[in-house]
Amino acid sequence: MTATLIEGKLVAEEIRAELKKRIAALEKEGIRPGLAVVLVGEDPASQVYVGMKEKSCAELGIFSDPHHLPAGTTQAELLTLVRRLNADSRINGILVQLPLPDQIDETAVIEAIDPDKDVDGFHPVTLGRLVIGVDTFRPCTPAGVQELLLRSGVNLEGKSVVIVGRSNIVGKPLANMLLQKAPGANATVTIAHSRTADLPAVVKGADVVVAAMGSPEFIRGEWLKPGAVVIDVGVNRVDDPRAKRGYRLVGDVHFESAVKVASRISPVPGGVGPMTIVMLMTNTVLSAERTLKKRTGGK
Ligand code: GUN
């Protein structure tokens, strides 16, 4: 058996086409969705991510408001900027790229963002709403995973989903999303992690495996139940002298062995990666739609 690919690139393209229509409808009402993108310092990976987010805004016709601040920015300065963006009616979403330099308390900055503009889905209020199943912004990477499964026709209802990785950004929110009584959810969810006893046996019980622990090629095909669906969230650089850049990207799943056992698998790159940014754009458009709804009295 060879698994078929779950191609995030194609699904992201489909969502972008839908977003263009929603943005056009907002335009008719005189609204252009706006995303503030805040980057502090010169971390090369963060610069690449922020550049991709700004480019995606431009392609869709979302107003992007870039704030690239020096590495020495103080916490007080950053909090002042966040508060200003909270009050700016042109801005529907605020994204503060993480990690932040050591002198800045990340939690304090995230908590300063107005939850109504928390398009990253990192604010404790957003996460609390997510846990109790109240409509809110879904954090972008878990939302990408859920959307990828839904749009690939993978029905999770009653299925056993094992999420390997317990991060605040992926594992914990995703587990809460997939166990909700809602379309694209209703799964029986297990979160496994680095201290899980006999991880291969836990993975063996899964109809759907989501790998999100950040260890290159850790999950082996032999661990999988035949026919399992595999979503690989990992993005790891491994040295490869044959590659042009001297490295290549691999996921948390050992693709060559997994592809022989799984029924469907998302590749790295081209799987979850392209979904994350499109979900950020989706949240920004959703925020603008909510603003319009409030203006028109919920009609
Ligand atoms: N750093 C790594 N991933 C992310 C993300 O999804 N959002 C933000 N703000 N920072 C990140």
| Two domains, one topology: 30-116 and 140-273 | yes
For the domain 140-273, what is the CATH code?
3.40.50.720
Ligand 1, residue 95: give the atom nearest the CA: 9
> What atom in ligand 1 is closest to the CA of residue 46?
1
pLDDT of 2 reads 95
Give the sign of the dihedral formed by CA 32, CA 127, CA 74, CA 79. positive
pLDDT computed for residue 299 by the predictor: 56
Kindly give the residue spans of alpha helices, DSSP state H, lying in 152-198. 171-178
DSSP 222: G
- How far does the centroid of ligand 1 lie from the alpha carbon of residue 243, in Å? 27
Domain boundaries, given as residue ranges, for the chain? 30-116, 140-273
Amino acid at 65: D
Give distance in angstroms: CA of 183 to centre of ligand 1: 26
Q: Supply the pLDDT for residue 151.
A: 97
Q: How far apart are the first and last CA of the chain?
A: 51
Which residue's alpha carbon is at the smallest distance from atom 11 of ligand 1? 98
Which pLDDT score is estimated for 297?
80
3-class secondary structure for 30-79? CCCCEEEEEEECCCHHHHHHHHHHHHHHHHHCCEEEEEEECCCCCHHHHH
Element (H, E) at 96: strand 93-96
Please give the single-letter amino acid code of residue 6: I
pLDDT in tens, the chain (299 residues): 799 999 999 999 999 999 999 999 999 999 999 999 999 999 999 999 999 999 999 999 999 999 999 999 999 999 999 999 999 999 999 999 999 999 999 999 999 999 999 999 999 999 999 999 999 999 999 999 999 999 999 999 999 999 999 999 999 999 999 999 999 999 999 999 999 999 999 999 999 999 999 999 999 999 999 999 999 999 999 999 999 999 999 999 999 999 999 999 999 999 999 999 999 999 999 999 999 999 888 65
Cα separation of 264 and 120, whole Å?
A: 28
Backbone dihedral angles phi then psi of residue 261, each to the nearest 5 degrees: -115, -35
Question: In this structure, are residues 219 and 164 in contact, taking their beta carbons and an 8 Å threshold?
Answer: yes
Question: From CA 100, how far away is CA 46, in angstroms rounded?
Answer: 10
Q: Which residue among 49, 95, 122, 123 is best mutated to probe the pocket of ligand 1, counting the most ligand atoms within 8 A of its Cβ?
A: 49
Name the phi and psi angles at 156, rounded to 5: -90, -10
pTM, rounded to two decimals: 0.96
Whether the CB of 100 sits within 6 Å of ligand 1: no
CATH 3.40.50.10860 fits 30-116, yes or no: yes
Give the active site residues: 53, 97, 120
Q: Looking at this protein, which amino acid is placed at residue 191?
A: I
Tokens of 210: 């989501």
Positions at the binding site: 165-167, 235
* 39, 97 Cβ separation under 8 angstroms: yes
Pick out the residues of the known binding site for NADP(+).
165-167, 235
Closest residue by CA, ligand 1 atom 1: 98
